[in-house]
């Protein structure tokens, strides 16, 4: 698999949802193509041996998605090869038509969670964009499924994901066909309120308060001036609150420019300040919490009198006499009061259930609102019937259920209030990440020579790209940037989870939100707003929380039939008890003195209807995944969604790369031997010129050593120019330097180019291998010029981590492109028995597939470009955080700290999360399986125990809260105790 394939895995800026982490230091960076890559996949097809088909694959957002699709296709029989192009939403498949057809391939892609159909190869419709929308009013999985279905039917929408737990939709669509406004209108038509969060990647939004008198003329002038700025996307003005919202591209313009434009418009009579409300998801959540609390308080205030007049005051002699006083015929004061207090609860406070039911039924589905509306209406209107009969009859005696209706609504509102309160806590990890950015920044003004002229405190949201900011000791870094002056140590634990402060000096990168320990730094801002590392991490966690785990398909499938089944059971329960009463199938003593057989049957029917809870089932998986991925982020383990979690908890075999994974990843040249009559300085000039374009750690080590040996610097003595550079993946590099062909690499590279290797060179290689060093051959114009010995020591914790994995019954294998001698030596030190050396990238991927076919669930841990095919082929790809961008994008899990112990944490966290999901399902399904029969009265003939509808409603509300609280317990996750005694360089890590 050549590098050209990697191009198909890359996420461009417009579609990037995954975090990319650059090698030094550990933080996300913009995607880039590795040197030497091409943008096309070329397939050589043998005529007649197989067929070729191209499929559209809608919904892929990153290389991890492409990996899922490729795995799904390749698991089918008869597939020779599959190439997935995430940039163009396509998959090219070579297959044997006698064993598999296009329809089966489409099914496999759809089973992986994506939409697919065969397309004509000439089709070139690739325009796509992502928007995120907050959706108010969803109550259960039926609601989210309805919205998702409505969005997916829109022409131009390629993929829509709606998450109930986060109350958000992530929609991939063609902006040339449909706009985000049309998407929001569709959500509104379905019956829910839509609030736009974002309309694409690397688009920022800021709100200003305009101080001054706004009129139509001034509004028009301000809008016209702002629209003239490059990078401004959308302008929304709200004159009634003097607010203006600007959506813009942060790499083209910024908020200080907007302030200057606004304040210079209209004879400088306006002043712009950042709007005090932060807005965003947390504000919507707080508004929802306040709304439910207000509804509950009003409902409670009106329900208490209903409850007292029906269940308490009737036992107080004096008060009972007053309540029993007749108004008209048999209509007494108590019944009239209950009707008056219950009616506003039913129709004003309970209006949300009517609206929700209408919208659901209009769209051909049924949700929790339907159950509540049916149950409360049955109780209320039967009670109204009792009122009417009592008012027009002189001898009618019947019981009302007004307290059932009012108390049912009150308890359900209390449950919803507690549920949104708890659900808000499931996304606290994101909230904490977003709060890391400091409120202010110190902006420096410099002259042309770099001298500081002045400094001022500004709001951190006003920082622009290329600004220079000052970071004092103890202060947070305001934005990502490059240190241009000063030395210090930065605590990056809040981003990477790594507790040890990282030394920073001129030329090093710093991450926004990290804390400066000591020393003053001047930092040139390189990325702001949505481009920043923190924003990209937040997006990854948000995207992971949006993604549905495969196990959630069970809940979605059950939810489709749940509400109709409950309604059928409720009617059957009522009819069975009513019929039994009419046929005198049970003794009259079973009927309470305050009601008749019809009323008893009605209570059983209502109880069944309101005790069933589809919400608990729908929340079981997403809430646990939300908390699990959030906890992982705080531990420095970035997990790309529920599927990665689900696969990780089954892992029983781990394939390790060597360089940078098991070893420190910072190799150094320890010996050099020349076989050609030339100076050491000239030799290293040739080697460094060839290796300077390499991204391999060994190549970088050689360049660093050459700098010291040849005593050159880039300004005064630059390296010779290298042309025709080619990186031979897994073998080395070759180039033309000073009209000489130079090759730097392993023995196979030389043999492939018919270059003879002398006995002395072979002995040098063998000696290096015995010392666990890597021997690198250098040839000039077809002759061996020298050998380099490069040492890359084993990570201090590697042996103990392998031992812990063995105790967990997880097999460890090392696969490396290095020579056999070095590989065996490192493997012996680490305690790994199975070793595969001199493996090309394709061989790594083939080994992973062989293990999978043997029944293993395989995790691949790597950090280099040559690990990407294996990372994608594995059930779970784990990328070391200090690795290359392309390896990280191909992975399912990113280990930010680059510590091997995080492998244990990732697997353990996955096991704990899925254990919690299992517990949630047991509770949600078990609750309904037990509660519905009890509510239907199966215990009544034996124990006279029955659940009144208001108690059933309280139980239903409590079940959802229980599931969410169960997921929240994951926040108490602690890393495995087996890691507490991890010994690194003689220091025990606790």
Q: Provide the CATH number for the domain formed by 204-277 in this structure.
A: 3.30.70.100
Give yes or no for residue 348 having a pLDDT over 90: yes
* Local structure of 130: helix, strand or coil: strand
> 156: how many CB neighbours lie within 10 A of its CB?
15
Give yes or no for residue 571 having a pLDDT over 60: yes
Give yes or no for residue 185 having a pLDDT over 80: yes
Rounded to whole angstroms, the Cα distance separating 60 from 68 reads: 9
Among 931, 40, 900, which residue's Cα sits nearest to residue 566? 931
What pLDDT does residue 60 have?
67
Give yes or no for residue 139 having a pLDDT over 90: no
- Strand 732-737 and strand 722-728: the pairing is antiparallel
Phi and psi for 237 in degrees, rounded to 5?
A: -115, 135
Taking the CA of residue 614 as centre, how many other CA atoms within 13 Å lie in the half-sphere pointing to its CB? 31
Q: Are 636 and 496 in contact (CB under 8 A)?
A: yes
Rounded to whole angstroms, the Cα distance separating 793 from 380 reads: 77
Mean pLDDT of 203-226: 81
Same fold, 51-119 and 204-277: yes
What pLDDT does residue 782 have?
87
Confidence of residue 546 (pLDDT cuts 50, 70, 90): low
Among 861, 495, 437, 405, which residue's Cα sits nearest to residue 658? 861
Q: Which two tokens stand for residue 276?
A: 């005090």
More confident residue, 420 or 763: 763
Give yes or no for residue 299 having a pLDDT over 90: yes
State pLDDT tens for residues 161-175.
888 777 788 888 888
Confidence of residue 422 (pLDDT cuts 50, 70, 90): low
Mean pLDDT of 513-522: 88
Rounded to whole angstroms, the Cα distance separating 165 from 167 reads: 6
* Local structure of 862: helix, strand or coil: strand
Strand arrangement, sheet containing 732-737: 668-674, 783-791, 773-780, 740-745, 732-737, 722-728
Give the class (CATH, top level) of 129-199.
Answer: alpha beta
Mean pLDDT of the chain: 79
Rounded to whole angstroms, the Cα distance separating 13 from 31 reads: 7
Mean pLDDT lowest among 367-371, 461-465, 687-691, 831-835: 367-371
**What whole-number percentage of the chain has pLDDT above 70?**
83
Active site residue 657: yes
Q: Please give the radius of gyration of the chain, using alpha carbons only, rounded to the nearest integer.
A: 34
Among 751, 746, 744, 762, which residue's Cα sits nearest to residue 837? 746
Rounded to whole angstroms, the Cα distance separating 57 from 110 reads: 9
> 252: how many CB neighbours lie within 10 A of its CB?
13
Q: Are 870 and 860 in contact (CB under 8 A)?
A: yes
Rounded to whole angstroms, the Cα distance separating 417 from 297 reads: 11
Domain 639-663+797-902 has CATH 3.40.50.1000: yes
CA distances from residue 352 to 288, 296, 355, 370, 981 in whole angstroms, order as listed:
13, 12, 5, 11, 55
Give yes or no for residue 192 having a pLDDT over 80: yes
Q: Are 819 and 835 in contact (CB under 8 A)?
A: no
Give yes or no for residue 97 having a pLDDT over 80: yes
- Strand 331-332 and strand 326-328: the pairing is antiparallel
Mean pLDDT lowest among 526-540, 728-742, 743-757, 891-905: 526-540
Confidence of residue 351 (pLDDT cuts 50, 70, 90): very high
State pLDDT tens for residues 908-963.
999 999 899 889 888 888 888 888 899 899 999 988 888 887 787 778 778 878 88
Contacts of residue 299, defined as CB under 8 A and 6 or more positions apart, other chains included, come to 345, 349, 406, 409, 410, 413
DSSP H or E run through 453: strand 452-459
**What superfamily does domain 668-791 belong to in CATH?**
Calcium-transporting ATPase, cytoplasmic domain N (3.40.1110.10)
Give yes or no for residue 508 having a pLDDT over 70: yes
> 339: how many CB neighbours lie within 10 A of its CB?
18
Give yes or no for residue 345 having a pLDDT over 50: yes
What pLDDT does residue 810 have?
93
Rounded to whole angstroms, the Cα distance separating 284 from 274 reads: 19
> How far from chain centre, in Å, is Cα 540?
5
Rounded to whole angstroms, the Cα distance separating 272 from 599 reads: 65
Give the dihedral sign, CA 328/333/335/337.
positive
What pLDDT does residue 4 have?
34
CA distances from residue 943 to 579, 619, 786 in whole angstroms, order as listed:
21, 34, 92
Give yes or no for residue 48 having a pLDDT over 90: no
190-204, 294-308, 779-793 — most confident range: 294-308
Taking the CA of residue 93 as centre, how many other CA atoms within 13 Å lie in the half-sphere pointing to its CB? 34
Alpha carbon distance, N-terminus to C-terminus of the chain: 42
Q: Provide the CATH number for the domain formed by 464-527 in this structure.
A: 2.70.150.10
Confidence of residue 122 (pLDDT cuts 50, 70, 90): very low
What pLDDT does residue 116 have?
83
State the virtual CA torsion across 530, 532, 537, 540 in degrees, nearest 10: 40
Q: Show the beta-strand stretches assigned E in 361-437.
A: none
- Which parts of 692-794 fold into alpha helices (H)? 697-710, 747-752, 759-770
> How far from chain centre, in Å, is Cα 737?
46
> How far from chain centre, in Å, is Cα 716?
48
State pLDDT tens for residues 734-764.
889 888 899 998 888 898 888 888 888 888 8
- Strand 834-836 and strand 243-248: the pairing is unpaired
Give the class (CATH, top level) of 51-119.
Answer: alpha beta
What pLDDT does residue 912 have?
92
What pLDDT does residue 622 have?
80
Rounded to whole angstroms, the Cα distance separating 246 from 254 reads: 10
Rounded to whole angstroms, the Cα distance separating 411 from 958 reads: 9
Question: What is the residue extent of each domain of the chain?
Answer: 51-119, 129-199, 204-277, 283-433, 464-527, 550-624+911-972, 639-663+797-902, 668-791
> How far from chain centre, in Å, is Cα 985?
35
Which one is catalytic: 480, 657, 792, 863?
657
Mean pLDDT lowest among 53-67, 238-252, 300-314, 969-983: 53-67
Q: In this structure, what DSSP letter does residue 476 have?
A: B
Provide the β-strand partners of residue 442.
457, 470
State pLDDT tens for residues 768-814.
877 778 889 999 988 899 999 888 888 888 899 999 999 999 999 99
DSSP per residue, 318-357: HHHHHHT-EEETTEEHHHHHHHHHHHHIIIIITHHHHHHH
State pLDDT tens for residues 581-611.
899 898 988 888 767 888 888 889 888 887 8
DSSP per residue, 648-690: HTT--EEEEPIIIIIB-S--EEEEEEE-SSS-HHHHHHHHHHH
């Amino acid at each position: 698999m050549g590098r050209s394939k990697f191009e198909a895995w890359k996420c461009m800026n417009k579609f990037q949802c995954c975090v990319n982490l650059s090698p030094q230091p550990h933080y996300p960076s913009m995607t880039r193509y590795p040197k030497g890559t091409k943008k096309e996949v070329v397939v050589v097809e043998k005529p007649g041996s197989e067929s070729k088909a191209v499929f559209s694959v809608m919904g892929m957002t990153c290389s991890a998605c492409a990996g899922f699709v490729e795995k799904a296709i390749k698991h089918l029989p008869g597939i020779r090869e599959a190439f997935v192009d995430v940039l163009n939403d396509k998959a090219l498949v070579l297959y044997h038509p006698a064993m598999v057809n296009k329809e089966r391939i489409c099914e496999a892609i759809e089973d992986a969670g994506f939409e697919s159909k065969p397309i004509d190869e000439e089709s070139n419709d690739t325009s796509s964009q992502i928007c995120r929308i907050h959706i108010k009013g969803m109550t259960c999985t039926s609601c989210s499924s309805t919205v998702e279905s409505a969005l997916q039917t829109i022409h131009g929408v390629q993929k829509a994901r709606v998450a109930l737990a986060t109350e958000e939709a992530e929609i991939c669509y063609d902006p040339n066909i449909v706009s985000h406004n049309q998407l929001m209108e569709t959500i509104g038509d379905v019956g829910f309120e839509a609030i736009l969060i974002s309309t694409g990647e690397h688009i920022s939004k800021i709100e200003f308060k305009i101080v001054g008198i706004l009129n139509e003329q001034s509004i028009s002038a301000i809008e016209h001036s702002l629209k003239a700025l490059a990078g401004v996307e959308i302008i929304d003005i709200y004159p009634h609150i003097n607010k203006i919202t600007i959506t813009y591209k942060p790499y083209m313009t910024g908020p200080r420019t907007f302030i200057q434009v606004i304040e210079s418009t209209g004879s400088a009579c306006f002043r712009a300040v950042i709007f005090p409300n932060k807005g965003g998801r947390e504000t919507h959540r707080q508004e929802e919490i306040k709304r439910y609390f207000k509804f509950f308080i009003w409902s409670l205030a009106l329900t208490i009198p209903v409850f007292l007049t029906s269940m308490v005051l009737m036992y107080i002699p004096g008060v009972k006499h007053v309540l029993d006083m007749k108004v008209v015929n048999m209509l007494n004061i108590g019944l009239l009061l209950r009707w008056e207090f219950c009616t506003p609860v039913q129709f004003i406070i309970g209006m949300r259930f009517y609206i929700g039911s209408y919208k659901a039924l209009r769209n051909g589905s049924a949700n929790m609102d339907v159950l509540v509306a049916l149950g409360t209406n049955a109780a209320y209107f039967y009670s109204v019937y009792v009122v009417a009969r009592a008012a027009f009859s002189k001898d009618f005696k019947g019981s009302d259920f007004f307290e059932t209706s009012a108390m049912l609504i009150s308890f359900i509102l209390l449950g919803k209030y507690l549920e949104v309160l708890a659900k808000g806590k499931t996304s606290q990890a994101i909230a904490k990440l977003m709060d890391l950015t400091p409120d202010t920044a110190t902006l420096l003004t410099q002259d042309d020579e770099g001298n500081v002229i002045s400094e001022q405190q500004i709001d951190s949201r006003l920082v622009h790209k290329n600004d220079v900011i000052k970071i004092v000791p103890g202060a947070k870094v305001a934005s990502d940037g490059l240190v241009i002056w000063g030395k210090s140590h930065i605590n990056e634990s809040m981003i990477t989870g790594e507790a040890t402060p990282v030394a920073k000096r001129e030329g090093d990168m710093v991450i926004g939100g990290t804390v400066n320990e000591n020393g003053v730094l001047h930092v040139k801002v390189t990325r702001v707003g949505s481009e920043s590392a923190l924003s990209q991490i937040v997006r990854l966690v948000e995207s992971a929380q949006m993604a549905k785990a495969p196990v959630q398909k069970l809940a979605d499938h059950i939810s489709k039939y749940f509400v109709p089944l409950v309604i059928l059971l409720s009617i059957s329960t009522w009819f069975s008890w009513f019929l039994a009463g009419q046929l005198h199938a049970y003794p009259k003593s079973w009927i309470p003195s305050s009601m008749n057989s019809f009323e008893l049957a009605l209570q059983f029917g209502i109880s069944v209807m309101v005790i069933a809870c589809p919400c608990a089932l729908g929340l079981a998986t997403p809430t646990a995944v939300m908390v699990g991925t959030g906890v992982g982020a705080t531990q420095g383990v970035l997990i790309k969604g529920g599927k990665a979690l689900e696969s990780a908890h089954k892992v029983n075999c781990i394939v390790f790369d060597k360089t940078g994974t098991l070893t420190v990843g910072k190799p150094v040249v320890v010996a050099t031997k020349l076989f050609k009559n030339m100076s050491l300085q000239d030799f290293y000039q040739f080697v460094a010129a060839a290796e300077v374009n390499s991204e391999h750690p060994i190549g970088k080590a050689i360049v660093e050593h050459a700098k010291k040996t040849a005593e050159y610097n880039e300004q005064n003595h630059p390296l010779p120019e290298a042309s025709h550079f080619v990186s031979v993946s897994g073998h080395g590099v070759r180039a033309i330097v000073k009209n000489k062909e130079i090759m730097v690499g392993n023995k196979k590279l030389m043999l492939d180019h018919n270059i003879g290797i002398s006995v002395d060179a072979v002995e040098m290689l063998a000696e290096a291998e015995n010392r666990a060093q890597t021997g690198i051959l250098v040839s000039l114009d077809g002759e061996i010029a020298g050998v380099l010995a490069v040492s890359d020591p084993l990570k201090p914790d590697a042996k103990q981590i392998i031992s812990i994995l063995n105790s967990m019954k997880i097999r460890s294998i090392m696969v490396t492109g290095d020579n056999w001698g070095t590989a065996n030596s490192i493997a012996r030190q680490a305690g790994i028995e199975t070793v595969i050396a001199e493996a090309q990238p394709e061989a790594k991927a083939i080994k992973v597939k062989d293990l999978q076919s043997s029944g293993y669930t395989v995790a691949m841990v790597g950090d280099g470009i040559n690990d990407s095919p294996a990372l994608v082929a594995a059930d779970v790809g784990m990328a070391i955080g200090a690795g290359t961008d392309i390896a990280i994008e191909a992975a399912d899990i990113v280990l930010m700290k680059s510590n091997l112990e995080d492998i244990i944490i990732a697997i353990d966290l996955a096991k704990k999360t899925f254990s919690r999901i299992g517990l949630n399902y047991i509770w949600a399904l078990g609750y309904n399986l037990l509660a519905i029969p009890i509510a239907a009265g199966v215990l009544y003939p034996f124990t006279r125990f029955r659940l009144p509808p208001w108690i059933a409603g309280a139980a239903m509300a409590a079940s959802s809260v229980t599931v969410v609280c169960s997921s929240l317990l994951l926040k108490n996750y602690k890393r495995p105790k087996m890691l507490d005694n991890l010994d690194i360089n003689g220091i025990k890590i606790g």
